[in-house]
Amino acid sequence: MILDRKFPDYKLGLMKFIECDKFHLTQFIGQCPEFYSDTFADSSYNGPMNPHNPAEFEKLPLTLLKGVGPQLAEKLQHLGIETILDLLFHLPLRYQDRTRLTPIGSLQQGDDVVIEGTVAGSSVVFGKRRSLMVKVQDGTGTTTLRFFHFSAAQKSNLQSGTRIRCFGEVRFGRAGLEMYHPEYRLLSGSNPEPMEDTLTPVYPATEGLQQVRLRKLIEQVFAYLDQRQALPDYLPEELREQANFMPLLDALRIIHYPPPDMSLARLQTGQHPAQVRLVFEELLANYLSLRKLRDEARRANAPAFTHKGNLRARLLAHLPFNLTRAQEKVVKEIARDLGHHQPMLRLVQGDVGSGKTMVALIAALQAIESGYQAAIMAPTEILAEQHFLNLDQWLQPLGVEMTFLSGKIKGKKREAVLQALATGQTQLIVGTHALFQNEVHFHKLGLVVVDEQHRFGVHQRLTLREKGRKDDTVPHQLIMTATPIPRTLTMSAYADLDCSVIDELPPGRTPVNTVLIPAERRPEVVQRISAACKEGRQVYWVCTLIEESEALQCQAAEATYADLSSSLPQLKIGLIHGRMKPKEKADVMAAFKNGDIQLLVATTVIEVGVDVPNASLMVIENPERLGLAQLHQLRGRVGRGKAASHCLLLYQNPLSQVSKMRLGIMRESNDGFYIAEKDLEIRGPGEILGTRQTGLMAFRIADLTRDSHLQPKVKTWADKIRARHPEVIDPLIKRWLANAEQYGNV
């Protein structure tokens, strides 16, 4: 009897359904005679390549393996597996332990286990769904197997007294501990059946390609390698010796077939030498690929901005403040880059409120004074508008021509904007992604500034670079992020960029005092708002929702607005959310800014960019739903003036352990870098880099949280390899990243 079991795989962040084993392994293999042979099928191969030559091993096609025809090859291709080597580097996502039997009496909810016992009765129950329930006992206890799909034959096979071995996840069901749709097999005879002698790998799989198939194919590859020793190791001898790395093939074998004494818990720590060996190599390949991208980008030509600095001097002369030392340092770094023909690729990191916009503006002025256009792109409409309004106040006196473009600008107005860009009349354009659509033509684009870059992946970064290309000239690129990215993560994700850090806030900011308050104490919070407004302060109330839906977020904000309006009738209350027209939003923001609104109810649209120094109190509802970086961004809207500011995190009980920790970090620290480091530890890199960057951080074995301590060593060796062993760079990248976004699109 062959059964399919489906389970979701979370590692890739997708609810991708992976088909699990056909259970009855030996029987299954019996039906597929090609699996009998372990030996490699090269004897029948007469192609041009010599599979005995290590270099050519890299190119050996899958069809050389027994059992791989065009159909299977196509399925494998879906997984990015095109050669035998790809198969060898198709590493398990996780493992199952089928090396030992678990006594039924000691089953624990959530465990994946093998049990063995005797059927003690079965029955079909008709609940919400018809299901076959089979009681199994082994002398230590009894458990129930539950099948929703079952055949008559299956039912009659599972008679009382039948001996059975099952593998599956233990769950808590109506009948106590149960196993839903376990893989199982009937036992006959009195000899004990052998257990698996290694942990069972679970591979990334795809529809119609079962685990057992992948396993058998990978076994063939190992059998081949055992005979030929053909796998080249690209890590330089000196590295392997100094780091005391185990041989590549041994490491791969352990990862594909971990011995039973290598516990699952141990594997999770990533400390086994086999893991370290492969993780290191993967991080190295990733780093080398980003460096290579950077080298390639540098080879293009960019305009060198030679200018006297007149515009900058005039801007600085009428600013009501001096640049901070940190701003000055970064401005200098950028100015130096912009003076060269080599395209600038620079990431500016600076905490919320550190004054990144000013730095970007000064860069833009350098382009403009040199006769080029500059573009500033923001990820959202509201942020782009905000930039436009902010910049306008500085640019008006300088006589710089600036316009705005987003998807919402349509018809005649749009035509006029495009026209002015194409003729070069517009010197600075601010907008959203709309800036880089096909019908947008620049006259002489010299600088692209991307705000909040962490929301875009490497791929988008590359596309942007290409969009600005004219013949062999590309614009300089400046990327700004308000989510500080921990250093080790920068090395993995941004090694193609130079990095500047604005590590200082303008003077006069008071740290925000953050307090956690359970939702039951909401009335007290409302009183506090009232008191703050009486003192002439202004207040934000931020509504959050788990749902991605903007519509629902807006509804929630509207409800809160209505609610607060009735409990605080004496206050002037405003509402802002993403569904309002740009003009309406701008009006509300303007009213808040000049004090006509005292309490602003908002969705997370105010996350970035909004600047009202007199606002000194912020309430964030359900903060446990947001990432720390986002909370830090939001909180950065207060604490911009002289008054002591407060942020009240109005959380919903009960809080999970992790949420408690995370909110505790918010209370404890105002330092964006520290918060980002902690968020990385607690929630992993996906959250910090923007969760939906598929491909960017999909490593095969490395785990950026667990393995980040290796990053400095990776960098050191990457530099050595670039200097002394450049010939291994491409093979390493190809081996690990051939199908990854970073490389595939170049």
Nearer of residues 386 and 544 to ligand ADP, judged by Cβ: 386
Query: Which residues make Cβ contacts (< 8 Å) with residue 186, sequence separation at least 6?
Result: 1, 157, 162, 163, 164
Is residue 380 a contact point for ligand ADP (CB under 6 A)?
Answer: no
* Residue 635 CB, nearest approach to ligand ADP (Å): 12
* Residue 358 CB, nearest approach to ligand ADP (Å): 5
Is residue 324 a contact point for ligand ADP (CB under 6 A)?
Answer: yes
Choices 201-209, 354-362, 400-408, 584-592 (CB under 6 A): range interacting with ligand ADP:
354-362
The C-alpha atoms of residue 139 and residue 92 are separated, in whole angstroms, by 35
Is residue 379 a contact point for ligand ADP (CB under 6 A)?
Answer: no
Choices 139-147, 316-324, 543-551, 720-728 (CB under 6 A): range interacting with ligand ADP:
316-324
The 3-state secondary structure of 297-330, one letter per residue: HHHCECCCCCCCCHHHHHHHHHCCCCCCHHHHHH
The C-alpha atoms of residue 10 and residue 80 are separated, in whole angstroms, by 19
Nearer of residues 265 and 317 to ligand ADP, judged by Cβ: 317
Is residue 326 a contact point for ligand ADP (CB under 6 A)?
Answer: no
- Does an H or E element contain 368, and which? helix 356-369
User: Of the candidates 353, 457, 468, 690, which one interacts with ligand ADP according to CB under 6 A?
Assistant: 353
How many CB atoms sit inside 10 A of residue 231's CB?
17
The C-alpha atoms of residue 356 and residue 349 are separated, in whole angstroms, by 8
* Residue 28 CB, nearest approach to ligand ADP (Å): 59
Nearer of residues 96 and 670 to ligand ADP, judged by Cβ: 670
* Residue 672 CB, nearest approach to ligand ADP (Å): 10
Choices 100-108, 323-331, 463-471, 583-591 (CB under 6 A): range interacting with ligand ADP:
323-331
Nearer of residues 1 and 323 to ligand ADP, judged by Cβ: 323
User: Of the candidates 221, 395, 482, 649, which one interacts with ligand ADP according to CB under 6 A?
Assistant: 482
Q: How far is CA 181 from CA 130, 369, 732, in A?
A: 13, 70, 42
* Residue 512 CB, nearest approach to ligand ADP (Å): 14
* Residue 505 CB, nearest approach to ligand ADP (Å): 8
* Residue 627 CB, nearest approach to ligand ADP (Å): 17
Is residue 357 a contact point for ligand ADP (CB under 6 A)?
Answer: yes
Nearer of residues 144 and 477 to ligand ADP, judged by Cβ: 477
Choices 118-126, 352-360, 593-601, 735-743 (CB under 6 A): range interacting with ligand ADP:
352-360
Is residue 615 a contact point for ligand ADP (CB under 6 A)?
Answer: no
Is residue 453 a contact point for ligand ADP (CB under 6 A)?
Answer: no
* Residue 502 CB, nearest approach to ligand ADP (Å): 7
- Does an H or E element contain 54, and which? helix 54-57
User: Of the candidates 60, 352, 383, 688, which one interacts with ligand ADP according to CB under 6 A?
Assistant: 352
Is residue 670 a contact point for ligand ADP (CB under 6 A)?
Answer: no
* Residue 482 CB, nearest approach to ligand ADP (Å): 5
Contact call for residues 506 and 321 (beta carbons, < 8 A): yes
Nearer of residues 289 and 354 to ligand ADP, judged by Cβ: 354
The C-alpha atoms of residue 163 and residue 185 are separated, in whole angstroms, by 9
Tokens for 328?
């000055």
Tokens for 349?
């990191």
342, exposed or middle or buried, with CB in 10 Å at 0-12, 13-18, 19+? middle
649, exposed or middle or buried, with CB in 10 Å at 0-12, 13-18, 19+? buried
Nearer of residues 245 and 404 to ligand ADP, judged by Cβ: 404
* Residue 351 CB, nearest approach to ligand ADP (Å): 7
* Residue 503 CB, nearest approach to ligand ADP (Å): 12
DSSP letter at 29 equals H
- Does an H or E element contain 719, and which? helix 711-724
User: Of the candidates 292, 307, 356, 646, which one interacts with ligand ADP according to CB under 6 A?
Assistant: 356
Nearer of residues 289 and 324 to ligand ADP, judged by Cβ: 324
Is residue 327 a contact point for ligand ADP (CB under 6 A)?
Answer: yes
User: What does the DSSP assignment read for 647-696?
Assistant: EEEEEPSSPPHHHHHHHHHHHH---HHHHHHHHHHHH-HHHHH-TT-TTT
Tokens for 45?
């191969």
* Residue 347 CB, nearest approach to ligand ADP (Å): 14
The C-alpha atoms of residue 596 and residue 613 are separated, in whole angstroms, by 14
Is residue 321 a contact point for ligand ADP (CB under 6 A)?
Answer: yes
- Closest to 481 in 3D by CA, of 680, 629, 581: 629
Determine the size of the site formed for ligand ADP (CB under 6 A). 15
User: Of the candidates 401, 504, 611, 703, which one interacts with ligand ADP according to CB under 6 A?
Assistant: 611
Is residue 734 a contact point for ligand ADP (CB under 6 A)?
Answer: no
713, exposed or middle or buried, with CB in 10 Å at 0-12, 13-18, 19+? middle
Query: Could you give the 3-state DSSP secondary structure of residue 214?
Result: helix
The C-alpha atoms of residue 738 and residue 745 are separated, in whole angstroms, by 10
Is residue 354 a contact point for ligand ADP (CB under 6 A)?
Answer: yes
Contact positions with ligand ADP (CB under 6 A) in 487-506: 506
109, exposed or middle or buried, with CB in 10 Å at 0-12, 13-18, 19+? exposed
In angstroms, how far is the first alpha carbon of the chain from the final one? 48
The C-alpha atoms of residue 138 and residue 116 are separated, in whole angstroms, by 7
The C-alpha atoms of residue 33 and residue 26 are separated, in whole angstroms, by 11
Cβ-proximal residue to ligand ADP, closest one: 355
Nearer of residues 636 and 686 to ligand ADP, judged by Cβ: 636
- Give residues in contact with ligand ADP (CB under 6 A): 321, 323-324, 327, 350, 352-358, 482, 506, 611
